Amino acid sequence: MKELKGKVVAVTGAASGLGRAMALAFADEGMNVALGDVADTSDVFAAIEAKGVSAVAMKLDVSKAQEVEAFAELAEKELGGAHVVCNNAGVSPLGATWETSLGDWQWILGVNLWGVIHGVRSFVPRLMKRNEGHVVNTASVAGIISPPGSGAYNVTKHAVVTLSETLHHELRERSSAVGVSVLCPAYVPTGIADSERNRPAGLEATVKTKEMLARQQMLRKAVSSGRLSADDVAKAVVQAVKENRFYILTHPRIKGAIGARMEDILQERPPRNPMSL
């Protein structure tokens, strides 16, 4: 999609972090914006309208199919329908795989994976009918490598990568003009390290051990010191949509760990810890 001006982008997780940055970056291209988030989007809504484009917003829990469908219908009714869809909402509870609570597994699968599934099911048929558009699914480098201490997060992000690859193949088989990208950033200063603030009631949190608390602090430090900003990543996403580029790898240094994982698979040897490479 080389020409974005006057078209519509729908962004989930739009209140902060990468979602907010993507919404603003696409608005800078002259796109009208549909915003969805469980948190208040009034700040980004005002910033988008100040750019001279239109915006709509709704409180959105992406783990609920009916809400994502209502979000797609809102974009259709108020803005004429989305051309670019950013399935971006995400959370990141930490913990060893056997220590992660059932509630955390349900929460992260609901947002990070089912949120993307619902987004694909609600928006892709509309894009295919128009035979125009682009889907951007936010994964992570944790969808290509497997860092210890974040098993549930890794599971969801690996799933988003393969879902995106499969969607790409399926659209090409149908000769559809709809494009797909999967976003795999490393550490970026966003609010994802504080995602506990949006935990739904009734989902039991993992009991934090000293090791978990130390790892959580390390994550906060790594995220806050990320060399690329959310705005930098958002600009890379806009460029990828224009170029119809599938993989969006914003941190080239991580390619060494990706290559090591591929080599370990091909050589059929135990995986090396990506955090020690």
> CA dist 2 to 80, 135, 156, 172, 238, Å?
19, 14, 31, 19, 10
pLDDT in tens, the chain (277 residues): 889 999 999 999 999 999 999 999 999 999 999 999 999 999 999 999 999 999 999 999 999 999 999 999 999 999 999 999 999 999 988 888 999 999 999 999 999 999 999 999 999 999 999 999 999 999 999 999 999 999 999 999 999 999 999 999 999 999 999 999 999 998 766 555 555 666 677 677 666 666 766 656 665 555 555 578 999 999 999 999 999 999 999 999 999 999 999 999 999 999 999 988 8
Q: What is the DSSP letter of 270?
A: P
For residue 277, tell me if it sits in a domain.
Answer: no
For residue 269, tell me if it sits in a domain.
Answer: no
H or E stretch at 12: strand 8-12
For residue 263, tell me if it sits in a domain.
Answer: no
| Residue in this structure with the two tokens 């799933």, named with its chain if needed | 159
Catalytic positions: 153
**Cut 0.85: pTM above it:** yes
**What is the domain count for the chain?**
1
190-232 pLDDT, tens digit each = 555 555 666 677 677 666 666 766 656 665 555 555 578 999 9
| Residue in this structure with the two tokens 């349900």, named with its chain if needed | 106
| Residue in this structure with the two tokens 């992406």, named with its chain if needed | 62
pLDDT of residue 190: 57
For residue 2, tell me if it sits in a domain.
Answer: no
Query: What distance in Å separates the CA atoms of residue 66 and residue 72, rounded to the nearest whole number?
Result: 10
Beta bridge partners of 242: none
For residue 102, tell me if it sits in a domain.
Answer: yes
For residue 122, tell me if it sits in a domain.
Answer: yes
CATH of the domain at 27: 3.40.50.720
Q: What angle do CA 117, 123, 124 make, to 5 degrees?
A: 85
Query: What distance in Å separates the CA atoms of residue 41 and residue 27, rounded to the nearest whole number?
Result: 15
For residue 60, tell me if it sits in a domain.
Answer: yes
For residue 182, tell me if it sits in a domain.
Answer: yes
Structural domain that includes position 182? 8-252
